[in-house]
Amino acid sequence: MGDLHALPTPSLLVDRARVERNVMRMASRIAALGARLRPHVKTHKAIEVGRLQAQAGMQGITVSTLAEARAFAAQGFDNITYAVPIEPGKFAAVVAMNAEGTRLAVITDDPEVPASLAAVAKRAGVTVDVYLKVDCGYGRAGVDPEGPALLEMAERIGSAAPLRFAGLLAHAGHSYQARGRAEILTIANAERDVMVAAARRLAAQGIAVPCVSIGSTPTASHVEDLTGVHEVRTGNYAFYDLMQVTIGSCGAADVALSVLSAVVHRDRAQGKLILDAGAIALSKDAGIADPDGVTHYGRLVTLEGEELGLRVTALSQEHGWVQTDDGAALDRLPVGARVRVLANHSCLTAAQHAHYEVCEGTRVVDRWVNHRGW
Ligand SMILES: Cc1ncc(COP(=O)(O)O)c(C=O)c1O
C-alpha cells in the first residue's frame, strides 16, 4: 500500500508487530494467572485489533461507548460489557441490543437504576446482566466496598428481575499515579484484595458473586497473583504509550502508536521546529512529566524509530511546537522532513483519527477503521 513518505501528514500509524506482541503477552500473562481476559476496546476501537485479541484467547470485550458496542456486535462480538455506569437515556439501546442477541452487560452503583432498567427489560422480555460498580481506591465511581451500599446494591440488582446480578467490577485508575514496579504492585495487590474481600462479604450474606472483574494496564502488567479474580479488563496495553513507559508498565519498544508529521517551520536562531501535528492530531493529553520534570505531548523519532531527543512541548490546533538547543537535530530536520511523534496517551491520540495506517517497519500494509463517537 506504499510507505511512510507517500502518506498525507498528519496520519495515525500503528505498528502491527508491536500490537501483536503486546496482545499475546498480556493474554498469556493473564491466562497463566488463572483469570479470563476481557480486553477494553476503548483504546483502539478497531475490529482488527479485537480479532487479534480474540485469537489470543480473550473472552468477551469491554466497551466505553455504545458506538463501540454496535460496531463490534455487527462483526460478531456478542459478549460485551459496557463499563461506563448506565443511565436511563441508554436503557432502550442496551435492551434492544440484548434483544437482538448480543449479551451487553452494564454496570451501576446507583440505587434507582436496577428497578427502572428492569422495567424496560421486562417490557422487551430480555434478561440484562448488571455488575455492581465498586470503588477499589480510584475514587471516580462505585460503591464503598466496606460500606452498607455493597450489600444493598447487590440485593437490589439481584431482586430486580429480569436483571441478573453479574458480579463486582472495579477499575484501578489510581495505578496511573504509581511509578515503578513496586508501587504498581502495591496498588495491584490492593485492587485484588479489596474486590475479593467484597465478594466474600456478599457470599457470607448468601449472595453468590459470579464474577470479580478488575483491570488497568499498569496493574495487570505486573500483578503476580489473581487468586479470587475471575476477569481482567485491560485496554491500553494493546498499544501502550509514553505515559505507560514513565509509569513503568512497559518498555519504550512496546509503544505501537505514533503520529506521522512533517516539519512546516524551522527557526535555527530560536531553536524551534513547528510540526503539522497539533492538538487535533495528538490530543491535548500532556500525560505524565518525564523523569526530568518536562511535560510534553509526545516524543519525536525518525520514520525508522530512532530517538531524536526532541519533544512536542506546546500545541495549537494544527501546530506542534518543538523547542531545542540541539543544533544538530535541527540540521537533520528541514521543512518537509518527516518524523513520528510517539503517542503520550494512546487511547486519546487514537480517538482523534478516523483510521489507522497499519505499518510493518516503514511499509504501510493495511488501514483499520477507528469506530469513534457515541
Ligand atoms: C472501567 C474501566 N475498565 C477498564 C479500563 C482499562 O484500563 P487500562 O486502559 O488502564 O487498561 C478502563 C480505562 O479507562 C476503565 O475505565
What fold does the segment set 16-236 form as a domain? TIM Barrel (3.20.20)
Ligand 1 atom closest to 220 (CA): 11
- Report residues of the chain scoring pLDDT below 70: 1
Pocket test for ligand 1, best of 26, 216, 239 (most atoms within 8 A of CB): 216
How far is ligand 1, taken at its centre, from the CA of residue 348, in Å?
A: 13
Identify the pLDDT of residue 291.
Answer: 84
Nearest to 352 by CA among 262, 281, 275, 255: 281
Pocket test for ligand 1, best of 42, 138, 223 (most atoms within 8 A of CB): 42
What fold does the segment set 252-369 form as a domain? Lyase, Ornithine Decarboxylase; Chain A, domain 1 (2.40.37)
Q: Is the CB of 40 under 6 A from ligand 1?
A: yes
Q: Is the CB of 219 under 6 A from ligand 1?
A: no
Nearest to 234 by CA among 70, 69, 23, 52: 23
Q: Is the CB of 145 under 6 A from ligand 1?
A: no
Residues written for the chain: 374
The pLDDT tens digits of the residues spanning 294-310 come to: 999 999 999 999 999 99
Identify the pLDDT of residue 2.
Answer: 80
Residue 174's Cα: distance from chain center in Å?
14
State the pTM of this model. Answer: 0.96
How far is ligand 1, taken at its centre, from the CA of residue 334, in Å?
A: 40
Burial 119-140 (b: 16+ CB within 10 A, else e): ebbeeeebebbbbbbbbbbbee
Q: What are the C-alpha distances in Å from 358 to residues 6, 42, 138, 144?
A: 14, 18, 34, 43
Residue 59's Cα: distance from chain center in Å?
17
Q: Is the CB of 83 under 6 A from ligand 1?
A: yes
Identify the pLDDT of residue 28.
Answer: 98
Identify the pLDDT of residue 88.
Answer: 98
Give the C-alpha separation, 203 to 65, whole Å: 32
How far is ligand 1, taken at its centre, from the CA of residue 352, in Å?
A: 18
How far is ligand 1, taken at its centre, from the CA of residue 33, in Å?
A: 19
Q: Which SS3 state, helix, strand or coil, does residue 187 take?
A: helix
Give the C-alpha separation, 156 to 372, whole Å: 34
How far is ligand 1, taken at its centre, from the CA of residue 221, in Å?
A: 13
Q: Which SS3 state, helix, strand or coil, does residue 88 take?
A: helix
Identify the pLDDT of residue 99.
Answer: 98
For the chain, give every domain's residue range: 16-236, 252-369
47 touches 54 (CB < 8 A): no
Strand partners, 168: 132, 212
Is 207 exposed, middle or buried, given 0-12, 13-18 or 19+ CB atoms closer than 10 A?
middle
The pLDDT tens digits of the residues spanning 166-213 come to: 999 999 999 999 999 999 999 999 999 999 999 999 999 999 999 999
Q: Is the CB of 217 under 6 A from ligand 1?
A: yes
Residue located nearest, by CA, to atom 2 of ligand 1: 171
How far is ligand 1, taken at its centre, from the CA of residue 333, in Å?
A: 37
Q: Is the dihedral of CA 39, 369, 79, 373 positive or negative?
A: positive
The pLDDT tens digits of the residues spanning 204-229 come to: 999 999 999 999 999 999 999 999 99
Q: Which residues contact 83 (CB under 8 A, 6 or more apart)?
A: 40, 62, 63, 64, 107, 169, 171, 233
Tally Cβ neighbours within 10 Å of residue 295. 12
